[in-house]
Amino acid sequence: MAEHHAPHQGHEHSEAHAVHVPVYVYYWNFAALMVLLVITLVAAHLKLGELNLTIAITIAVIKAVLIVLFFMHLAYSTRLVRVFAGAALFWLIIMFVLTLGDYFARQSATMPGG
């Protein structure tokens, strides 16, 4: 006769992936985001010409990375979740490159004298 094993309660798998992040991590992350917000506001008022856009995008990328890593728990996720997050980012970059390529090609064709 076949042996019957007790069904898994599911606790083994859920506890292996459950990470309890200390509250101070969220406070430090929030503080870093607020500091970056102030830096963004200060940089927006400086007359740096073309460098303003570079500074603003750099700060925005840093803020996005902090949000994704800590508030969305990517820093504590499995390798598979990180692979899919990287694939999503890669796909977003492809879409931006294709869109910007089309935008710049059309703009040069419609400019007077171009």
| Tens-place pLDDT, residues 59-85 | 999 999 999 999 999 999 999 999 999
**What pLDDT does 86 receive?**
95
21 phi and psi angles, rounded to 5 deg:
-85, 130
**What pLDDT does 94 receive?**
97
| Sign of the four-CA dihedral 18, 21, 26, 32 | negative
| Sign of the four-CA dihedral 38, 39, 45, 50 | negative
Report DSSP state, residue 77.
S
**What pLDDT does 19 receive?**
77
Q: 34 in the Ramachandran plot: left (φ > 0), alpha (ψ -120 to 50) or beta?
A: alpha
pLDDT at 2 over 70: no
**What pLDDT does 42 receive?**
94
pTM of the model: 0.70
Residue position matching structure tokens 């400086």: 46
Rounded CA-CA distance 4/65 in Å is 48
Q: Crossing angle of helices 23-45/51-66, nearest 10°? A: 170
